[in-house]
């Protein structure tokens, strides 16, 4: 135990001195943090210090190596599926855009393995709004695989598939700041998807996360951060994004006007409680026009593009609108409500 504590203390000292760790060193540190019981003050100091210094791609790869080795996966990989889980932490208080998009995508024929949990830093997490919608998140791997095969959409309760993260949950809440775990979340999908759209809370993470996804074998992905600070494609400002395709990474920018959408005020997609957000989402699926719908259209369009269903984000807008207006999306919501 003394050796492990000294290792963590030495790691903190190195971080303060601006030292960076190799992938293997970072894996060993996270392995120790997962395996042993350290003083809360030392763990808090480590996560705060490395985040303040800025985690490197090698360090984040090492951390995810350690965490993935402790994950519970579905009994088979669903490499054709897509996940829309983001980092959170943008402090914008928007409604659950990526969760709404999951229904739209699945109703349009794209297999979706969306994972998430309860709110940590926002008013309403993915699990919270799904509860309010009457849709169950799934904790059992066999059941999750069955639902994904039959319905083309499953919501995976992240803590059940990444149980070691419970060890750090209270620490994260007490710290009250972003940590490496914000970035780790989207990298730990239990269905082993190879297509992802990830919203990140800072622009500097665009190439960083893109590089990580390329290294771990994700085929197609978009990593996005808007210029008004959202970890989504914004309908209030241009959005910068990295497009990963067949190992090639490109940095691009898109604005709502480019894809035929109106430019809205920044607070047009504000969220509220779980019930309020659920009501917003159901109204969108029933055809209500406006900012909330357009936010879902734009972000769904990016996922249709990544999945190969659309040849461009512009085409994806049309596909997303057809899914909602045809009634297919609300029909899928009602089917998923019946699964217990």
Q: Answer whether CATH 3.40.1030.10 is correct for domain 82-337.
A: yes
* pLDDT for residue 277 is more than 60: yes
Confidence class of residue 117 from pLDDT cuts 50, 70 and 90? Answer: confident
Domain coordinates in residue numbering, the chain: 2-68, 82-337
pLDDT digits (tens, 9 = 90+) for 25-36: 999 999 999 998
Q: How many angstroms separate the CA atoms of 79 and 307, rounded?
A: 11
pLDDT digits (tens, 9 = 90+) for 2-59: 544 578 999 999 999 999 999 999 999 999 999 988 999 999 999 999 999 999 999 9
- Nearest residue to 330 via CA among 101, 83, 104: 104
Confidence class of residue 176 from pLDDT cuts 50, 70 and 90? Answer: confident
Residue carrying the six token digits 């080795």: 69
- Residue 303: both structure tokens together: 């996922």
Q: Which CATH architecture has domain 2-68?
A: Up-down Bundle (1.20)
Confidence class of residue 186 from pLDDT cuts 50, 70 and 90? Answer: very high
Task: Spell out a b/e string for 109-147, using b for 16 or more CB atoms within 10 Å of the CB, else e.
Answer: ebbbbbbbbbbebbbbbbbbbbbbbebbbbeebeebbbb
pLDDT digits (tens, 9 = 90+) for 286-333: 999 999 999 999 999 999 999 999 999 999 999 999 999 999 999 999
Crossing angle of helices 274-285 and 126-133, in 10° steps, is: 60
Q: Which residues are CB-contacts of 156 (< 8 A; sequence separation ≥ 6)? A: 113, 114, 115, 116, 137, 138, 144, 189, 190, 191
pLDDT of residue 1: 45
Could you tell me if 98 and 299 are in contact, meaning their C-beta atoms sit under 8 angstroms apart? yes
Confidence class of residue 121 from pLDDT cuts 50, 70 and 90? Answer: low
């Amino acid at each position: 135990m003394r050796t492990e504590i000294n290792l963590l203390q030495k790691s903190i000292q190195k971080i303060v001195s601006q030292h960076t760790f190799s992938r293997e060193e970072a894996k060993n540190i996270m392995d120790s943090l997962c395996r042993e019981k350290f003083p809360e003050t030392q763990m808090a100091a480590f996560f705060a210090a490395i985040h303040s210094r800025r985690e490197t791609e090698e360090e984040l790869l090492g951390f995810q190596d350690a965490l993935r080795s402790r994950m519970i996966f579905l009994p088979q990989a669903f490499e054709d599926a897509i996940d829309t889980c983001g980092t959170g932490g943008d402090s914008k208080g928007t409604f659950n855009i990526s969760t709404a998009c999951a229904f739209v995508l699945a109703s349009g024929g794209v297999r979706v393995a969306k994972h998430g949990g309860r709110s940590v830093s926002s008013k309403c997490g993915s699990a919270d709004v799904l509860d309010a919608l009457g849709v169950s998140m799934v904790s059992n791997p066999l059941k999750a695989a069955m639902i994904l095969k039959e319905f083309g959409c499953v919501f995976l309760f992240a803590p059940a598939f990444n149980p070691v993260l419970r060890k750090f949950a209270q620490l994260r809440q007490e710290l009250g700041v972003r940590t490496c775990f914000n970035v780790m979340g989207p990298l730990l999908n239990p269905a082993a998807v190879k297509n992802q759209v990830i919203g990140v809370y800072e622009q500097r993470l665009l190439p960083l996360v893109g590089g990580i996804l390329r290294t771990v074998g994700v085929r197609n992905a978009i990593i996005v951060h808007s210029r008004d600070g959202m970890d989504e494609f914004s309908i209030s400002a241009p959005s910068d994004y990295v497009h990963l395709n067949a190992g090639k990474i490109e940095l691009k920018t898109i604005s709502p006007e480019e894809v035929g959408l109106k430019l809205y005020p920044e607070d047009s997609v504000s969220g509220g409680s779980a019930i309020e957000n659920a009501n917003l989402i159901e109204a969108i699926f029933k055809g209500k026009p406006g900012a909330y719908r357009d936010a879902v259209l734009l972000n769904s369009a990016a996922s249709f593009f990544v999945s190969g269903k659309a040849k461009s984000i512009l085409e994806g807008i049309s596909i997303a609108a057809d899914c909602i207006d045809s009634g297919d999306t609300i029909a899928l919501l009602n089917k998923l409500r019946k699964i217990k």
